[in-house]
Chains A and B, each alone.
Chain A
Amino acid sequence: MRAIQSLLLFALLPFAGCVIARQDVNEPLPALLIKQLQPGTTTARQVAELLGGPNQVVQLGRRTAYLYEASSTKNAVLFTFLMNFGNQDTRQDRLWVFFDEADKLSHYGATYGTHRTQYAMPWEDVHEDSDNASRDAERAGVAK
C-alpha cells in the first residue's frame, strides 16, 4: 500500500505549479516630501502642488480632507493535484490631510506600508516586527 501511495505521489508531481503576481496601484507616497507639510501654514493649493491631485476628497462639514493612497499586492499560489495553497498580501501607503474652512492644513496623518508586502505561503507569518523594521530602514523617510 505504501508503495502505491509513493508511486501515486510521484506521479502527481508533474501536475504541481506555481504562480506569483504583483499588482501596484499608484506610486508609493514620497515620505520625505510629506515631512515638509506644516499644519497651520501649508495651504490646500501647496499640498496639491507638492503631491498632485488626491485620490479622494471628503467634505467634513466646513472642513475638507484629502486622501492620497497607493497599494501593493503580492500573490503567491502553489497548485498541486487536489490542493491549492494561496497567499495574498496587500499593504498601503496612506496620507490624510485635513484642511480648515480657510483651506489651511490643520492636521495630517501618514502610514507607509507598500514596501512591506511579501510573497509567502499561507502558513507563514510574513509581518514580524523585525521584518518590518528592516524593510522600513531601506525606505527613505519611513524609519522611526
Chain B
Amino acid sequence: MKRWACWLPVLFTGCVTAEYSRVSANEPVDLEALRSLVPGQDDLTSCLAVLGAPLDVREYQVDADRASGMALIWYWTNEAGWGAKASTVVRGMSVSFEFDWTGTDLPGCVLWFDRDLKLEFYREGMVGQLVAASRQPSAVDQ
C-alpha cells in the first residue's frame, strides 16, 4: 500500500503516460491481384487497372537516348503499438522522453517497367529496402 502510494503524487502531475495507438494510412494493394501479374506480359495499363494509382513514380533505367522505364511504388501502414512518455524538470528545464515501439520502414510493393512500359518485375516487402536495393549509380556525363 505504502509503496505505490508514494508514487501517486508523481503520477498526478502527468509526468508518466503510457500510450496505445494505431496509425493507418493508405489501402494495402490486393496481394492476390499483384501476384497474378505476369512480367513480360502485363503492361502499365493492366497494372494500373488492377492496382490503382501508386503513391510514387520514379525514373528507371534511363538510356542514352533519354528513353526510360519507370518504377511504381505503393506502400501502406496499419500498425498498432505501445509507447510511453515521461517528462520531468532538470535544473529548471523541462525535459521529456518518448519511447515508441513502432517501426519506420513501411510494407509495400514496387513494380518496374521497361522502356516499352512492359512489366519487367515486381517485389513485395519493406519499401525502403526495395527502393534502396534497386538504386543504381547514374552514368557520368563526359
Contact = CB atoms under 8 A, between A and B. Distances in A.
B23 interface: yes
Contact of B57 (A62, A87, A96, A116): A96
Interface string B19-39: 111111111000000000000
Interface in B64-87: 66-70, 78, 80
A52 interface: no
Contact of A60 (B45, B57, B63): B57
B26 A89 contact: no
A132 B69 CA distance: 34
B11 interface: yes
Nearest to A96: B53
Contacts, number: 107
Interface in A118-135: 120, 122-123, 126-127
Contact of A111 (B44, B52, B66): B52
A126 B24 CA distance: 10
Nearest to A92: B26
Contacts of B52: 94, 109-111
B59 interface: yes
Given A85-B19, A87-B24, 17 more contacts: A60-B58, A61-B59, A61-B66, A62-B67, A63-B68, A63-B70, A82-B16, A83-B17, A83-B19, A83-B20, A87-B21, A88-B24, A94-B53, A95-B53, A109-B52, A110-B52, A111-B52
Interface of A: 39, 58-63, 65, 67, 81-92, 94-96, 98, 107-111, 113, 116, 120, 122-123, 126-127
30 contacts: A58-B59, A60-B57, A60-B58, A61-B59, A61-B62, A61-B66, A61-B68, A61-B69, A61-B115, A62-B68, A63-B68, A84-B17, A84-B20, A85-B21, A87-B21, A88-B23, A88-B25, A89-B24, A90-B25, A94-B52, A94-B53, A96-B53, A109-B53, A110-B52, A111-B27, A111-B53, A113-B26, A122-B22, A123-B80, A127-B78
